Amino acid sequence: MLKSAYEWIDRRLDITPMWRDLADHEVPEHVNPAHHFSAFIYCFGGLTFFIVVIQILSGMFLTMYYVPDIQNAYKSVDYLQNEIAFGQIVRGMHHWGASVAIVMLFLHTLRVFFTGSYKHPREFNWVVGMLLFFTILGLGFTGYLLPWDNKAYFATKVGIEIAASVPFVGDAIATFLQGGEVVGAQTLARFFALHVFFLPGALLALLGAHFFLIRRQGISGPL
């Protein structure tokens, strides 16, 4: 069945050459764990991408039940955890996956830095990687408020106060994040929009650019 469907699509779109080009791409020997134990440090980027995919899929599930207003946000999360089959597991995956993604991305960034992989001709990809890092941090920060419990409220308030301390533009950043003078309904709506629409859009665009540059320039050599 699947083979017939693939052949039907392939006869119309000729996708086999593109698939072969991806599947047959050679990987340098120094990133093969079978040959070099140190090759495991090159796995952090792939692990980060795997976790990001889990975050996207689990987030899509969560948005089917989440209500982004201050009257029902906490109730919707409580309903998801206690009434929906596997809801607690999916929310747990999304919650802990956010922290794991940041840790894996940090380790990947350290690997790139200490192996000199950011040098010529990969400087632009380093910039893209830094933008990815801050985008994922932004996703973690905006997602933290969404359960709308005491911990989320006061942690977000502290985070916005830290942002407000930035010289010259701090007040503008705080006003933009809060949507007003205090953390309230507009803040929750704004964080939800950033977390579900704007930042994921930026994330997908940056991931596309990152993978394109990796494919174009290849994996960097050993230290």
Contact yes or no for 123/135 (Cβ under 8 A) = no
Tens-binned pLDDT, residue by residue, of the chain (223 aa): 788 888 899 888 888 887 777 777 777 777 776 666 677 888 899 999 999 999 999 999 999 999 999 999 999 999 999 999 999 999 999 999 999 999 999 999 999 999 999 999 999 999 999 999 999 999 999 999 999 999 999 999 999 999 999 999 999 999 999 998 889 999 999 999 999 999 999 999 999 999 999 988 888 877 6
Q: Please give the sequence-ordered ranges of beta strands (E in DSSP) within the chain, or none if there are none.
A: none
**Predicted pLDDT at 18:** 78
Is it true that the peptide bond before 121 is cis, omega within 30 degrees of 0? yes
**Predicted pLDDT at 37:** 60
- The model's pTM is 0.91
CA 67 to CA 119: how far, in whole Å? 45
Domains and CATH numbers, the chain: 41-217 (1.20.810.10)
**Predicted pLDDT at 34:** 64
Contact yes or no for 200/52 (Cβ under 8 A) = no
Sign of CA dihedral 196, 202, 206, 208: positive
Q: Which residues contact 155 (CB under 8 A, 6 or more apart)?
A: 144, 145
Residue owning tokens 């994922």: 136
Residue 6 is encoded by which pair of tokens?
A: 């693939």
CA 178 to CA 194: how far, in whole Å? 12
**Predicted pLDDT at 40:** 83
CA 160 to CA 215: how far, in whole Å? 38
**Predicted pLDDT at 144:** 96
Determine the Cα angle at 218 with ends 217 and 220, to 5°: 105
177-214 in b/e form (b: 16+ CB < 10 A) is: bbbeeebebebbebbbebbbeebbebbeebbebbeebe
**Predicted pLDDT at 79:** 97
